[in-house]
Structure 1
Amino acid sequence: MFALATLCCLLWGSAFPAVKNGYAALGVGQGDTGSQILFAGYRFVIAGSVLLGAALVTRRPVLSLTRRRFGEVALLGLVQTTVQYVFFYVGLAHATGVKSSIMNATGVFFSVALAHVVYADDRLNRGRALGCLIGFLGVVVVNLGGSGKLDFEFSLLGEGFIVIAAFILAAGSMYGKRLSRDMDAMVMTGWQLFMGGALLTIGGFAAGGRLVGFDLRADGLLLYLGLLSAVAFGLWSLLLKHHPVGLIAAFNFLVPVLGVTLSAVFLGESLARWSYLAALLLVSVGILLVTRPARAKRIESPPQP
């Protein structure tokens, strides 16, 4: 169980450098929003296809969605895949992998706040509130410049879009949780990734996006990104089925840790800044506080880099 949960977090953490390396391999510029969205679309069409194929092989009800269910899953795909990843992929193009890994973790804290409003039996307590405060303090710290001021190192298109994507994921996860109560989780996830990816692909082409220069490296990165989403989601759903949600959710703190480490290794980004290391520590402590077993109902959906 511990090995599989760690593997999921490793896969999600590796998405940050993989996406940025994919941009470089395909010549996707920082301001080329259409191509960034198109790249995301290809990834999630692959991921959704892999999950749906696996669901068919295991004889799950892939093709038995009613018209109402199809509409609900399409809405989930629009919010949780299409809209979220427009912000995520554009944000990642304008921010470093290290900072994006840390700021993406705000999704856990947004889940806490939203669940407090939505669920009468899932309120904030002192420990969870403290975890949120510590986590958001980490987000402030990571944007401090060398002079110790909150300044030009934060941009709306970069760090801002990463935080917006995290909020959309937290909100969409609550809707997905409701749908999964009487739907097969693999089928639901496969369809929402596929439909959301298809909308991203159409939107990317409509915005003038083009992906050129496909070679073995670029193909491998795109295939890896699609497979990591499919494998991580499949394993996470399996873990949630057989183990307490609160126990599995505690592994969420590994995603920013691994994302930061892998970005430093594969992108050559420096970690030699007190603000990065302090922010990583604060965010990890905050996530550990809010993902205690009492919070099991809130973290049924994993982070989605």
Structure 2
Amino acid sequence: MKDKKIFTDKKFITIIATLCCLLWGSAYPAVKSGYELFNISTGDIPSKLVFAGYRFSIAGLILLVIAQRYGKKIFNISKKNTLDLFYLGIIQTTLQYLFFYIGLANTTGVKSSIMNSTATFSSVILAHYIYKNDKLNVQKTVGCVVGFIGVMIVNFSSDLLNFSFNFSGEGFIIIAAFVFSVGAIYGKKLTKSMDVMVVTGYSLFLGGVILVFIGVVFGGRVYHFTTTSSILLIYLALLSSVAFSLWNLLLKYNKVGPVSVFNFLTPIFGVILSAIFLGENIFEYKNIIALVLVSSGIWMANKEKVSNHQNIVKVKKTV
């Protein structure tokens, strides 16, 4: 009950959701920098999967160790829940980041930040068919349309005359975004009967181990461990463990919409940080227009309308 009171407080939701988006936004330049620090070439997909697997395996272990220290039962899991955790690990970690890591290698951090925002629109559309209290309305529909227009614009050339779309780059980022949406909804279901930290820890660890296995089977290797590359890997692992566990806690106690509305910050943070750390140009007209449209679309698609009755209640409380 204490967690519910904290994680349903609007100010706390704003702070935590913003932190999660900042962490996820920093992943774009961090992962691309990791490719360079670990000497992973653009075409070396198996090694990229091993790199991703190391990150998420470590992240999962960190969460499980912390969970056990706080007295949570991490080994007392039913057969059904074990299977559910395995499925979640495949969806939320293995599949999502298989597409994400390959896609990010084949496009820029700026484009990836904007393209990945389609996860929000996918979540809104999926929620319409899954939750009775989270249906599409005119505002959400317009928000999704505006956001998708922004996603389309970022794939045009600077003069907006030529359209460029690489399926193994931008296409894979969109697929990763959709898989993230599916994983988030499936994870929300699991956290109703299981502890959020345990669910997140196992999904990251199991998904990460599978990524390492797939990468190694196809000849992937990650050798070049230096102080800098190791620190970056640890940061990426902590980023995942902190962001995913906090986000899943917010989803556990709130509807998808009010939490997902903050996702408009992820492409903003991702674009800015990619410009700072990767030296990518964000000041092209198409990037600015796309970022504004995508962020506005996310906000519109997830912001809940306040009914007249709610307004009356709020007025009475302030008098």
1:150–1:70 distance in 2 versus 1, CA, 3 Å: farther
Aligned partners of 2:29, 2:207: CA distance in 1, in Å? Answer: 22
SS in 1 for 2:288: helix
Q: 2:135 aligns with which of 123, 127, 135?
A: 123
Percent identity over the alignment is: 49
Q: Summarize the alignment of residues 26-65 of structure 1 with structure 2, pairs less than 5 Å apart.
A: 26-65=38-77
Deviation at 1:165, TM superposition (A): 0.5
AA in 2 matched with 1:129: T
Does structure 1 residue 108 correspond to structure 2 residue 108?
A: no
Deviation at 1:244, TM superposition (A): 7.3
Aligned partners of 1:235, 1:77: CA distance in 2, in Å? Answer: 17
* Number of residue pairs matched by the alignment: 294
Normalization by structure 1: what TM-score? 0.91
Aligned partners of 1:147, 1:5: CA distance in 2, in Å? Answer: 35
Does structure 1 residue 21 correspond to structure 2 residue 33?
A: yes
- 2:181 corresponding residue in structure 1: 170
AA in 1 matched with 2:58: I
SS in 1 for 2:75: coil
Aligned partners of 2:260, 2:168: CA distance in 1, in Å? Answer: 29
AA in 1 matched with 2:75: L
Does the CA contact (< 8 Å) of 2:188 and 2:248 recur in 1? no
Does structure 1 residue 287 correspond to structure 2 residue 298?
A: yes
Does the CA contact (< 8 Å) of 2:188 and 2:252 recur in 1? no
Does structure 1 residue 6 correspond to structure 2 residue 18?
A: yes
AA in 2 matched with 1:214: F
AA in 1 matched with 2:166: S
- 2:3 corresponding residue in structure 1: none
Aligned partners of 2:99, 2:194: CA distance in 1, in Å? Answer: 28
1:101–1:247 distance in 2 versus 1, CA, 3 Å: same
- 2:99 corresponding residue in structure 1: 87
Cα deviation 1:139-178 (Å, max 9, x = unaligned): 0000011231342x31001000000111111122222222
Aligned partners of 1:175, 1:237: CA distance in 2, in Å? Answer: 11
Does the CA contact (< 8 Å) of 2:188 and 2:251 recur in 1? no
Cα deviation 1:182-231 (Å, max 9, x = unaligned): 11111111101100000001011011111122101110111100011111
Aligned partners of 2:216, 2:305: CA distance in 1, in Å? Answer: 45
SS in 2 for 1:279: helix
Does the CA contact (< 8 Å) of 1:245 and 1:293 recur in 2? no
Does structure 1 residue 208 correspond to structure 2 residue 219?
A: yes
Aligned partners of 1:31, 1:194: CA distance in 2, in Å? Answer: 26
- 2:81 corresponding residue in structure 1: 69
Structure 2: stretches of 5+ with no match in the other structure = 1-11, 307-319
Does the CA contact (< 8 Å) of 2:123 and 2:181 recur in 1? yes
- 1:220 corresponding residue in structure 2: 231
Deviation at 1:83, TM superposition (A): 0.9
Normalization by structure 2: what TM-score? 0.88
Deviation at 1:80, TM superposition (A): 1.3
Does structure 1 residue 251 correspond to structure 2 residue 262?
A: yes
SS in 2 for 1:64: coil
Does the CA contact (< 8 Å) of 1:14 and 1:262 recur in 2? yes
1:248–1:110 distance in 2 versus 1, CA, 3 Å: closer
Does the CA contact (< 8 Å) of 1:140 and 1:150 recur in 2? no
Q: Summarize the alignment of residues 227-266 of structure 1 with structure 2, pairs less than 5 Å apart.
A: 227-239=238-250, 246-266=257-277
1:50–1:82 distance in 2 versus 1, CA, 3 Å: same
Does the CA contact (< 8 Å) of 2:184 and 2:248 recur in 1? no
- 1:183 corresponding residue in structure 2: 194
Aligned partners of 1:96, 1:278: CA distance in 2, in Å? Answer: 17
* Deviating more after overlay: 94-103 vs 1-10: 1-10
1:245–1:75 distance in 2 versus 1, CA, 3 Å: closer
Q: Summarize the alignment of residues 263-278 of structure 1 with structure 2, pairs less than 5 Å apart.
A: 263-278=274-289
* Deviating more after overlay: 108-117 vs 280-289: 108-117
Aligned partners of 1:282, 1:4: CA distance in 2, in Å? Answer: 24
Q: 1:161 aligns with which of 169, 172, 195?
A: 172
Structure 1: stretches of 5+ with no match in the other structure = 296-305
Give the structure with higher Rg (CA). Answer: 2
AA in 2 matched with 1:228: L
Does the CA contact (< 8 Å) of 1:264 and 1:271 recur in 2? yes
